[in-house]
Amino acid sequence: MTDSAAIYAANKRLALALDALAAAVERRGEADQEAANLSAQLHALGADRARLASDLDGTAARSQALERANRDVAHRIDAVLGTLRSLLAQSGG
């Protein structure tokens, strides 16, 4: 093999190695971008979960308050009905 043929072959191997390196760098960049996207999605899901948990806690508290109000109103209605029955019984109605 002549010196120029050896230089040509070495140059070709170097070009192929540089192409492979460039492809690896591009794949790594894409993988890094995908990891960053997944991290952002994970963060968004965590924020959504926290918001939903807070909403659920608020809804549960409101539900309990409504249940207490409902029981209170039912007791008051029963008391009024008792008073009305008593008045009707006294008036002979």
Its sign, for the CA torsion 52, 57, 59, 60, is: positive
For residue range 15-38, what is the model confidence (pLDDT) as tens digits? 999 999 999 999 999 999 999 999
For the chain, percent of residues with pLDDT exceeding 90? 94
Per-residue pLDDT, 64:
98
d(CA 74, CA 72): 5
Q: pTM score, two decimals? A: 0.57
Cα–Cα distances in angstroms (integers) from residue 66 to residues 36, 55, 62, 71, in the given order: 45, 16, 6, 9
31 in helix, strand or coil?
A: helix
Per-residue pLDDT, 2:
87
10-residue block means of pLDDT along the chain (93 residues)?
Answer: 90 97 98 97 98 98 98 98 95 75
